[in-house]
Structure 1
Amino acid sequence: MTESSSSNIFEALQHGLTQAKSVQTPGEVHGTLTGMLCIDNAARGAQAVEDVESDMLDSALDALREMTLEGLFDPDLSFKPLLPDDEVELERRVQALARWCAGFLYGLSADGEFDLSRLSAEVREVVGDLTELSRAGLTAEDSDGESAEGDYAELVEYVRVGVQMIFLELQPKREGPAKRESLH
């Protein structure tokens, strides 16, 4: 996903969610969808939005699902969480990142099959960190200067790589037609 395409997707999803009177944010929906896809890569996009039904929104979510899976399965690790552009004030971006993480954790556990104890220690640590990030906020002194922007960028990169690790650990264990095939 390029920077401008993710911006367009974020705005389109925001518009669709608003039109459908959903209380969820685009980041939260993408996080939920990504978590669901880590457990079952056959999950449908519409499963990530619980409070509304809209055919237009469903087709947009299916497109988001395809782009998300493409990024997660990409050997170059191109997955990116769907978050507001860098032009948006830092406080709103931090809130969006926290909601993305909360959505992701919800998506992981939504079907009741997620068992943290079966994961490697490294991935369990990432899940713990994402839990902490789901409660992230910004204080007045945190929001000043370039260091805050750099810290935010590092957090987004950590989430991106951490989610990729979770996906790669969970997906090879999947059974059935949706199982990821490896090339030798």
Structure 2
Amino acid sequence: MSLISERQDFSSIADVFLLHGSMQSPAFLDGRLCAGLALHDLSAEAWLEEVCISLGVEQPRDEASAERLLGWRRQTLDALSSSELNFEPMLPDELFSLAEHAQGLKEWTLGFLEVIEDAGDEPRKAWSAALREAIDDLPGLAAMETDIDDSAENENDLFALTEHARMAAMLLYTEQHPGHPQVEKVEEPPGSVH
């Protein structure tokens, strides 16, 4: 199976980071990637450059690493633009503790918000009230306590917070790219003619 068609997940990207001597979590860069794709249509070249800068290297050390990093961008873009609304932030999975998952969500949110803040107020003017509210709630996620026990209650809370971040990312992408995904509209827009 080629790396290009292989699904990238938190662990596979973390392995690429380790290969480049970095212990950082992919979650922060994934948050930046999601917001960058939504606000700036972040190109593959710009993404690879951003990852390399973050890892402190001039370029990926081998073709397989470059393919994985580009596959990560492509996979994220496909999920954000899919009509199935199946986008998921790249966070630690069930192999990790809830505390590690919470830390990943916090880092993802910080990365996502960093790109939004860097974009300034101009894009925000065109946002719906729902999107503004979703984004305005994110600093609370970025400040959350991550030293939590593995309990059903904490797991449910973390699921709800992750779902909020996921929906905020999809809403941002959808509003910045009208018509992609082709989500069915329940109501007719005002002034539409049959």
- What TM-score, normalized by structure 1, do the two folds share? 0.79
Alignment of 1:167-182 (within 5 A): 167-172=173-178
1:107 maps to 2:112: no
Segments of structure 1 that go 5 or more residues without pairing to the other structure are 173-178
1:54 maps to 2:59: yes
1:81 maps to 2:89: yes
Return the alpha-carbon distance in structure 1 between the equivalents of residues 88 and 181 of structure 2: 22
Query: Counterpart in 1 of 2:163?
Result: 157
Query: Counterpart in 1 of 2:135?
Result: 127
Residue deviations 1:62-115, cap 9 Å, x none?
A: 111110011011101010000111231111110110000111112334466863
Return the alpha-carbon distance in structure 1 between the equivalents of residues 72 and 108 of structure 2: 15
Which is worse superposed, 17-26 or 87-96? 17-26
Aligned length: 171
Report deviation, 1:117. Answer: 3.2
RMSD, aligned CA: 2.7
Whether the 8 Å CA contact 1:20–1:54 is kept in 2: the answer is: no
Q: What percentage of residue pairs aligned between the two structures are identical?
A: 25
- Find the residue that maps to 2:41 and give its secondary structure: coil
Return the alpha-carbon distance in structure 1 between the equivalents of residues 59 and 159 of structure 2: 34
1:66 maps to 2:68: no
- What TM-score, normalized by structure 2, do the two folds share? 0.75
**CA distance 1:144–1:79, shift in 2 (3 Å):** closer
Tell me which amino acid in the other structure corresponds to 2:135. Answer: V
- Find the residue that maps to 2:177 and give its secondary structure: helix
Segments of structure 2 that go 5 or more residues without pairing to the other structure are 1-5, 185-194
